[in-house]
Amino acid sequence: MTATRTLRVSVSEPTLYVAFELGAKTWKLGLTAGFGIDPWVQTVAARDWAAVRRVLQRARARFALSPATQVVSCYEAGRDGFWIHRALLAQGMANRVVDSASIEVNRRQRRTKTDRVDARKLVQMLVRACLGDTDVWREVHVPPVEVEAARHVSRERSQLVAEQTRLTNQLRSVLTTYGADLPRRTGAWWTTVRDWTGAALPASVQARLARLEARAAVLANQVTEVEAAQQQRREAVPVQDALRQLVRLKGIATTSASVLVDEGLVWRAFRNRRQVGGFVGFRPVPYDSGDQARDQGIDRAGNRRLRAVSIQLAWNWVRWQPLSALTRWYTRCFAGRGARARRIGIVALARRVLIVLWRYARTGAVPEGAVLKAA
C-alpha cells in the first residue's frame, strides 16, 4: 500500500528540493538546496524523464551537492493524477502530492502568476514543509494502485446515473413545452403523447424524443453492467472484508458500500473521528472576530462523492435502523422541529453515521442498536 508520511530533514543535511509545475507540453522544475538559496528554474518536455535526470545532475553540480544527495520533490494534485508520484518514487525521490486548494496565495486584487513564479514558490514551500512547518499546505493521500483502479467502477456508476437524470429532465422539458407530461416509458411511447390540444406531437419532436430515449436505454444497460460488476466484486472478497461487512447492515446496499470503501473509508487509515469528518467536509467553520461571532456551517472542503453518499446513507439509516441510538438521537433533536431543522439535522447525522461505519469497518463493532440483515 502506498503511504503518505510526513518527511522531515535536518537543516544541516544536504538535500536537493525539486518542485514540478506540470503542464500538458512542458514541465517547469524549481530546484534549490535550502533556505536562503535562490531557486533555479528549468524547463523540460512533459514526461521526459531523461531530461529530468539531466536537470537533477546539473542542479547537484550547481549547488555543490554530491551525487548521492537525497532528492525531495513535490507537485500539485490535478489532471495527471498519481502516476507521476509513482514514477518519482521509482526514480528514488521522496515525493509529496500537494492539495492545490491549500496553498497560500497573495490576496491582492492582481498578482503575478506564471509557471516560473509558481515553481519558485512551490519549491520554497517544500523546504518549509520538510523542515517541520505543518501549516504550509495539505498533502494528498495517494491510493494504492489496486484501489485507484477499483474506484473507477463506483465513480463510473455515479456519472452514468447523473447522465440518466439529465436525459430524463430533457425529456420532461421537451414535453412541458407542449403541455404534456412524461408517461410510462414503454415501447414507442413518444408516438402516443398528446399536446395540450389533444393532437400528436410534431414528427421532428417525436424524432428527438426517440433519440433521447435511445441514449437513455444505452445508459440503463451500462448501469446494469456496472452494478453487476460491483456485485461480483462483493462476492469475490473475503467475508471479513470491509465491503462485505458494510453490506450486512440494513440500509446499506452494495453501491453505497462500494463508494465508502473505494473513496477511502478504510485504506486512508484515519486515526480519529475528526479526521473522518474533516476529510468528507463536515468540519464546522466558526467565525469569531471582534464583536462578530457566528457559525458558517460546514466547510464542504472534502471528498464530495463520500459526502453525497453519506447524506443518502443518513436518510436510509433513519428509515431502516429506527431502533438504533443514532436514529433515536436524530428523532429527539430534529424530527419535530420542521423541515429545515430536519435537513440541518440530517447533515449532523450523516457525520455520525460515517464515523460509526468507519469504526465498524475497521474493528467490526456493530453500531449501538443497529440491525444486521438476515444471513
Domain edges within the chain = 15-130, 145-236, 246-287+295-363
pLDDT tens for residues 179-205?
Answer: 999 999 999 999 999 999 999 999 999
Residue 105: the pLDDT is 80
What residue spans of 143-286 are helical by DSSP H?
145-176, 203-236, 242-247, 254-262, 273-280
Query: What average pLDDT does range 10-25 have in this prediction?
Result: 86
Residue 50: the pLDDT is 96
Q: Quick one: cell of 203?
A: 414528427
- Axis-axis angle for helices 304-320, 254-262 (nearest 10): 140
pLDDT tens for residues 216-261?
Answer: 999 999 999 999 999 999 999 888 899 999 999 999 999 999 999 9
Residue 296: the pLDDT is 78
Q: How confident is the model at residue 10 (pLDDT cuts 50, 70, 90)?
A: low
Q: How confident is the model at residue 267 (pLDDT cuts 50, 70, 90)?
A: confident
Residue 9: the pLDDT is 54
Between 265 and 204, the more confident residue is 204
User: How far apart are alpha carbons 262 and 279 in whole angstroms?
Assistant: 14
Answer for the pair 312, 353: CB distance below 8 angstroms, yes or no. no
Task: Concatenate the DSSP letters of all residues of 68-101 into one string.
Answer: T-EEEEEEE-STTTTHHHHHHHHTT-EEEEE-GG
Q: Whole-angstrom distance between the N-terminal and C-terminal Cα of the chain?
A: 32
Q: How confident is the model at residue 11 (pLDDT cuts 50, 70, 90)?
A: low
Closest CA to 372 of 282, 203, 248, 199: 248
pLDDT tops 70 at residue 41:
yes
pLDDT tens for residues 117-160?
Answer: 999 999 999 999 998 888 899 898 899 898 899 889 999 999 99
Using DSSP's 3-state secondary structure scheme, residue 19 falls into strand
Per DSSP, 142 falls in state P
Phi, psi values for residue 97, rounded to 5°: -105, 125
pTM: 0.82
- What architecture is the 15-130 domain classified under in CATH? 2-Layer Sandwich (3.30)
Q: Which of 86-100, 166-180, 337-351 comes out lowest in average pLDDT?
A: 337-351
